[in-house]
Every structure is written in structure tokens, then in C-alpha cells.
Amino acid sequence: MGSEAATAVPKARRRAGEGGGARISGVLYPRWYWPSFAGPATIWLVLLFVLPFYVVFAVAFGTSDLFGNALPVYQPWYWSGSTFTAILDRFYGGDAFYQPALVRTLVYVPAASLLCLILGYGVAYYVARHSGRRKGLYLVLLISPFWISYLMRIYAWQGLLQPDGLINRILTQLHVISSPVSWLQGRPTTVVLGLVYGYIPYMILPLFGFLDRIDQNLLEAGRDLGAGPFKTFVRVTLPLSRQAILAGMVIVALPMFGDYFTNDLLGSTKTSMYGNLIDNALSLPGGSPQAASLVLMLLVLLIVPLLYYLRSTKRAQEAL
């Protein structure tokens, strides 16, 4: 009886499939039924992502009016690549004044992401494995920075890091420094630490999610097979959290590449990043096509790490 029931359902499904529908629990669903569940999200994506994305193209390859407002060109046959090539020239041409900002971004973002990982992994590991009954409390504390907007928190840092701010006063009183340090005058360290401060919760949360789900039995198995705590961590926990590390890195690094306000508030033009180039272009008369071109170039730049992440996730799933 049992085996008959087990084979009966797939047969029914196969038949329904041939007819174009699906029979579950004896009900025949039309073919559009299940895909329609994705309908609202698809419409949402088309309206708020695909169409605006096309507008970015139309702006990048379009022109601007007397005031610099974008005049998007929606017909690809009228598109002009002049802005795009001019911008490329600013990265690689004879007058490559965008290049330093690109280089800074390619240094600051990996540095900040790595710091997020190093600092965040320890926290996530502790909360996931050793916080015991306080796990809930720690999780709330981890989310607590989100209660105050990032902008507000960075403004607070601005106050703390000013020449006569609390940090300089404490360090001077402790004789760590003899005169106030100008933290906010275009110091790469300040900007990188600002990025870490702003984005580290986004690293900790996915790491915690993965680490919390690691089967305790696997760790015990490692110990049973003679591995010490360190070796168990290196051979079992770390490989198992590889996906979480990748996810965390992608989640923090992608928005950092477009971040401009951390540098605006904690740095100066000396620490301008890619996001600042976009922001600056937008405030220039005639700058909209330039800003849109920069957005498209950033997209191309980010596709590489994103594809690597997707490929590695796919492989990890296949390995399961």
C-alpha cells in the first residue's frame, strides 16, 4: 500500500504536467497559477528597477539642457557615447583625474570589508556559540545601531573627531598625543574606519545566521577524531562558514563602492571615492549624463565580484 501511494503522486503530476497544469492534493492548478505568485514582485521589479535602469542608460547616452538637467534619449538609435568616452578618458586618458579616486576606492573598500570581517567574525562566533541564554539580548544589541540613522551616527562622529572634540581631548589629556589630530581632514584611516563602523552590522548578521546553524554534531565529530579546538575551527567551522563570509563581504562591499556620505562627512576631497565622483557630477551643471555613465561603469566593475559570489554559491549548493 505504502509503495503504491508513493509512486501514485508523481504519476499524477506527470499527467497533469502533460496537460499543462499541476495536481497537488487532488486539485488541478492551471499552469499560470504558481508563477502568478511571483507576479506582484515581477511587476515591482520591472517598474522600479528595469525601467529606471533603462532611464539610466537613456541619461548616460543622452544630453542635458541649459541648466544641466538630464534630457534622456530613449531611442537607442540616437544615443551618443561622447559623455561615456569622455568619462573613460578621465580614468585612463591623458587627463586621468578620476583615477586617484578609483584607486582609493579599490583600496578603502577591500580594507574596510576585511576589517568588518575580522571584527565581525569574532562577534558573530561568540553570539552564535557561546552567548548562552543572552543570545537574544546580544542580537537586539547587534541590531540596535539601526535604531538611529547612519547619517545621525556619522554626524555624532564628526563632533567626536573635531579638533576640540572628545577624542582629541581625551588623547591629549592622556598624553597619547601632544596636539589635536585633525582626524577629519582627509585621512584615509578615518574614512576606512567610518566605513567599517557604518557597515559592520551587515557583516555580523549573516555570519551569525550561518554560524548559529552549524550542526554541533559536526564539531563534536571533529573533536572525536582528535582535532583540537583550533584545528576543529580551521577544518570544520571555517570551511562551513565560507558562504557566510562571502555573503557578508558582498553585502558590505557593494554599498561601500557607492558610498559617498561617509567621505563627505568624515573625509575631504583628498579621500574622495567613486561614490563622490557620482555625487559631484550630479551637482555640476550638465553633470547628469556624466553621473549616469559613472553609475554604469561602477556596475560593470561590480559584476565581477558578484558573479564570483553567485558561482561559488551555486557550487556550494551543488556540493550539498
Rounded to a whole number of angstroms, the CA Rg of the chain reads: 26
138-142 long-range contacts, CB within 8 A, separation 24+: 139/208, 142/201, 142/204, 142/205, 142/208
**Least distance between other proteins and beta carbon 176 (Å):** 18
Among 12, 13, 21, 299, binds other proteins (CB under 8 A): 21
State the Cα angle at 288 between 54 and 44, rounded to 5°. 30
From 30, 52, 81, 136, residue interacting with other proteins (rule: CB under 8 A): 30
Per-residue binding letters, 67-86, with other proteins (x by CB under 8 A): xxx-xxxxx--x--------
Using rule CB under 8 A, residue 287 touches other proteins? yes
In angstroms, give the least distance from the CB of 152 to other proteins.
18
51, 285, 307, 310: which one binds other proteins (CB under 8 A)? 285
Out of 104, 191, 251, 258, which residue is the one contacting other proteins (CB under 8 A)?
Answer: 104
The CA distances from residue 249 to 71, 175, 211, 253, in Å, are: 37, 37, 15, 6
Cβ closest to other proteins, residue 30 vs residue 52: 30
| Minimum distance, C-beta of residue 63 to other proteins, in the bound complex (Å) | 4
Mark out the alpha helices in 93-241 (DSSP H runs): 99-130, 135-143, 150-161, 166-173, 188-213, 216-224, 229-232, 238-240
* Rounded Cα gap, residues 144 and 138, in angstroms: 10
Contacting residue, 36, 85, 149, 185, with other proteins by CB under 8 A: 185
The reply to whether 277 sits near other proteins by the rule CB under 8 A is: yes
Q: Which residues pair with 56 in a beta bridge?
A: none
We find the least distance from the C-beta atom of residue 159 to other proteins, in angstroms, to be: 10
User: 42 vs 34, 104, 140, 206, 307, CA distance in Å?
Assistant: 13, 37, 33, 26, 22
Using CB under 8 A as the criterion, which residues of the chain lie in contact with other proteins when the complex forms?
16, 19-21, 28-31, 62-69, 71-75, 78, 97-98, 100-101, 104, 162-164, 182, 184-186, 268-272, 276-277, 280-281, 283-287, 290
